Amino acid sequence: MSSNKAFKNALHNRQTTNLPYGFEQRMMRRITMEAEKRKKRAFVMGLGAISFISAAMIAATVYVLKYYLSFSMHVSMPDLVVSSEAKSLFVACSYIALLILLLLGMDAYFRKLRQKRHSKSSAE
């Protein structure tokens, strides 16, 4: 906020020249947009760095477990016999779970749209 005040003071204290109408507002809007772009860029870079470091730590853990601690990653699973009733029940439960996830995703999307519309109408 103090940078906005400093820009406004500088624009008010400048020498009087014939600038196009709305020049100051357009320039302030551009400066604000550039500051927002920098913040977003810094956020994305931080998120990328966190993701890379997390993946590197997981890879290092797997490497240490496999080569230094002789941890065997081969786990034998017993043979499972699944009946046709269990398979049909699994398919039905999977279908219901996918529907629930789809509905939750749609709910979140529409809430976000509604919130954006509400914030635009209150800003005007």
Cβ proximity of 65 and 71 under 8 Å: yes
Q: What is the pLDDT of residues 9-29, one digit of tens each?
A: 777 776 666 778 888 889 999
- Model pTM score: 0.42
Residue 114's pLDDT band, with cuts at 50, 70 and 90, is: very high
By the 8 A CB rule, do 53 and 40 touch? no
Q: 3-class SS at 104?
A: helix
Task: Please report, for the chain, the start and end positions of each structural domain, with discontinuous segments joined by +.
Answer: 1-76, 77-124
Is 80 exceeded by the pLDDT of residue 123?
Answer: no
Q: 19 in helix, strand or coil?
A: coil
Report the b/e string of 58-76 with b at 16+ CB within 10 A.
eeeeeeeeeeeeeeeeeee
